[in-house]
Each structure stands twice: as C-alpha cells, then as structure tokens.
Structure 1
C-alpha cells in the first residue's frame, strides 16, 4: 500500500514538473457550408460555401512534452450563401408559378456564435524550434445572433427580406408564414485541428468542425428539416 502511494506521488511529481500552463490568442478565417435535408434525407441543395472568420483566446495545459489539453473561447461567424439557380427552382416548385424572365435571386444565412472547444493535444518535435501538433475533441456552441436574407432583382429594382432565425413566424412581404429557417441556439459537434508550432510561441493550424446536433427547430405536422454545418478553418495564434 505504501509502495503504491509512493509510486502515485512520484508520478504526480514528475507530471507537475513537466506540466506547462499557458494562454494565448488566435484568429483566422473559415469556409463553411450548411446542409439541409428533408425528412427523407434528401439534400435540398439550397446552400453553398461562405467565407467567415473567427477569433478568441486559448488556454493550454501540457502534462508532458507530447500530451496535454487545450480549450478555446471563440467568436465565430459562419453560415452559407444560397445557390441562386437552385433557389429559383425551389420557388417555382413550392409556389407553382413562373418566375419572371430576367429575375435573379440570391441570399445567405449567417450565424454569429460563441464556441467552446475542448481538445486532447498531441505534440511531436521536429527540431528544437519546430513542432507539429494534432488537436482532437469536440465543442459546444451558442448562436447569439442569426439572420437569413433573400434578395430578388428584376429590371434594376432589388427587393430584399431579412428574417431572424429564432422567430417562429416570418413575414415575406405579403403574408405571415412559419419560418423554415427556425434554428436552435445551442449546438455541439466534433472538432479537429492539425498544425505546427514555432519556438513554442507561434502556431498555425488547419481545422475542421461539424455540428452534429440537430440545428433546425422547424417542425410542422411531424415534418422536420435536418440542418447541419461543416466548417473548415485556417488560423494562427500566439502563446504569451
């Protein structure tokens, strides 16, 4: 019993001696895309990629030279632009009417959210000054602001409508209807990142996040839309 206790204390002492806590800042850009499917799993094809950005603070605790934990508190803007051709096609089907010749349409959905990822970090030194690392974990997110916007242009005249993603009903200029973009504020998903560190201070990484929880709150007569988001990012940062 005493031997086991001494061994445990020795391991803790070694880990504490090698442990390193540090904080830093990070910022970068992202390319994200919404996937929206109907109840049968068919992708409606309304969305395409959109460029956004992210930034925040980093906290890291390394138990040894090669393994540790890292968390971040990030402001992230992401979402999707709308596929113009597919948007017109969907409106023709749903409204059962012809779209005027020469009309162009577009739109976008934008999320402004706070994300809190938690990673397990594996680090491998290449030289005394250069190391590569991998981050593997998940994240929780809260969308504090979200908007969907649609625009139609005909003969030089532009009409646009903007909806809050958290309103149950929306007004499309003519009538009130259930908001098909109705969105849940909380989400969670998978997060990974691969990158390098220079002089244990500067780091740069390529990341991927996927929201796994159901984002859509839209439901009518048992019919639900399934909405998820994929986000690829390139970011850099600095440890103090």
Structure 2
C-alpha cells in the first residue's frame, strides 16, 4: 500500500512539473543590434547606424493558449556612428563612435497567431552601464567618458515577432523605440533593431 501511494505521489509530481514547464519556461538569448539615435540633435550629428550586440536571459509565462508574457534581462550595446563636418576642427575627417551600453529589461506581451509564431509588444526599461565617445582622426583614437552627461534611465517600447520550435529553439526580430532623451538637455533618443536567437528550457 505504501509503495502504491509513493508511486501515485511521484506520478502527480511529475505531471505537475510537466504542466508547469508547459506554462513557464526559462531561456537564454543573444544577437545583433543595429542601433542609432533619432531627434533634432541626432540629426545635427548626422547619426548613422552602428552594429552592436545583446545577450541575456528570459522567462516565458503563458497566460492562456494564445497569450503570454516574456520578461527579459539583457546587456545591450547601442549608440551611433557619426562623421559630420563639425568634427573637422580635430584636423581632417573624424570618425566618431557613440557608445551606449545598457542593462535592458523588456516586458513583452506575446500573442500567438499560430503554433510557435507570436506577435510581441511591450515597454522596455533600460539602465545605463557605459557612455563614451570615441573619435578617430589622424591615425589616432581618443575616448572620452561622458556618463555624467548621460541620463541613467531610458524608457522605451519594443515591437516584434518571434518563432519558437517545440524543442526550445527560438528566433526573434524586434524594434526598440526610445522615448527618453539620452543626454542631458538634448534631443536624441535610442532607436534599435534587434535580431535574436535563443533557447528555452
């Protein structure tokens, strides 16, 4: 009798674990960023797109068969490139790399339009990790830390699509639009396209 009871308990625990896994999954993801800055001040800088990366963890929480929530914590390398004439005072053509790194926390609402295929949207809360300007001219490179002149918090919204296989592999494409000005007393906001791959456990 005790053995039968033990078997039943183990079976129920296994079933509960399987059901929990069906509605709650952890995962990892990473990929490439195509980032720039938008706004009047960014236009004056003639801000161009630069390539960066993102890497982090996620949790997928299914509310129903059609809806889920996916919070993430990502390290995201962003910023922009510039080579405008205003930098010619340094002596010739100057290539400028604006480096902005964040700890980003997107919280995505997912709507599954077909098995594995989802439309995603939600807010993103980003916390500044690094802010530098790197200028290259005359074969030399100078880097200036401007973290004190950069806002420590960035609020934005993310929109995208995702596809996940039953085995756990996933791919995502996302656009992140910043609402907050990046620098103190300036009109420049983050704008990032993200392409990601990952794995859900």
The two structures have a TM-score, normalised by structure 2, of 0.83
Instruction: Note the residue ranges of structure 2 that are not aligned, 5 or more in a row.
Output: 1-18
Select the structure of larger CA radius of gyration. 1
Deviations 1:93-135 (A, max 9, x none): xx6xxx86xx331110111210001111111335xxxx21111
Alignment partner, residue 86 of structure 2: 90
On the 8 A contact 1:75/1:113 being kept in 2, the answer is yes
Match of 1:132 in 2: 117
Matched, 1:236 2:188: no
Paired positions, count: 183
1:122, 1:46 → 2: CA distance?
37
Q: Which residue of 2 aligns with 1:143?
A: 128
**Is 1:190 paired with 2:157?**
yes
Partner of 2:110: 121
- Name stretches of at least 5 consecutive residues in structure 1 with no aligned partner: 1-15, 168-181, 218-223
Tell me: CA distance 1:17–1:43, structure 2 relative to 1, closer, same or farther (3 Å).
Answer: closer
C-alpha distance in 1 between matches for 2:109 and 2:78: 24
Secondary structure of 1:47's counterpart equals coil
How far does residue 160 in structure 1 lie from its aligned partner after superposition? 2.8
Distance, in Å, in 2 between the alignment partners of 1:91 and 1:28 is 32
**Counterpart of 1:164?**
145
CA distance in 1, matches of 2:68, 2:118: 11
Compared with structure 1, are the counterparts of its residues 200 and 61 closer, same or farther at alpha carbon in structure 2 (3 Å cutoff)?
Answer: farther
- Alpha-carbon distance in 1 for matches of 2:152, 2:188: 13
CA RMSD of aligned residues (A): 2.3
Secondary structure of the residue aligned to 1:43 is: helix
| Equivalent position to 2:31, from 6, 28, 43 | 28
The CA distance in 2 between the partners of 1:205 and 1:65, in whole Å, is 19
- Asked if structure 2 preserves the Cα contact closer than 8 Å seen for 1:18 and 1:65, the reply is no
Q: CA deviation at 1:202?
A: 1.3
CA distance in 2, matches of 1:122, 1:211: 23
Contact kept in structure 2, 1:52 and 1:77, CA below 8 Å: yes
TM-score of the aligned structures, taking structure 1 as reference length: 0.70
Shift of 1:35: 2.3
